[in-house]
Structure 1
Amino acid sequence: MGQNDNIEVDPTLLEADGSDYASSGYDTSTASLSSSVNEYIFENGRRYHAYYGMEKNLMPTDEKEQDRMDLHHEIILLLLGGELHKAPINPNPHKILDVGTGTGIWAIDMADRYPSAEVIGVDLSPIQPRWVPPNCNFEVDDAELEWTYPSCNFDFIHFRNVAQGITKWPQVLSEAFRCMKPGAFIELSESGAQLYSDDESLPPSNPARQWGERMTDAMAASGRLAPVKGSLSSRLEAAGFVDVREFQLKQPFGPWAKSQDLKKLGVMLLLQGEQGFHSYGMLAFVKLLGMDPAVADKLCKDAIMATKNKHTHAYAVHYVAYGRRPEE
Structure 2
Amino acid sequence: MKAYHIPEPGAEPRLCSLADPIPVKGEALVRIMACGLNFADLLMIKGKYQDTPQAPFTLGLEMAGVVEALGPDTDGPAPGTRVAIYSGQGGLAERGAFPVERMVEIPDSMSFEDAAAFQIAYGTSHVALEHRARMKPGETLLVLGAAGGVGLTAVEIGKLMGAKVIACARGANKLEAAKAAGADHLIDATTQDIRQEVKALGGADVVYDPVGGEQWQAAFRACKPEARLIPIGFASGEVPQIPANHLLVKNLTVLGLYWGGYLKFRPDVLTSSMKTLLHWYAEGKLKPHVSHALPLEQAAEGLDLLRSRKSTGKVVITP
| TM-score, normalization by structure 2 | 0.41
Higher relative contact order (CA closer than 8 Å, sequence separation 6+)? 1
Whichever structure has more helix as a proportion of its residues is 1
| TM-score, normalization by structure 1 | 0.40
Whichever structure has more strand as a proportion of its residues is 2
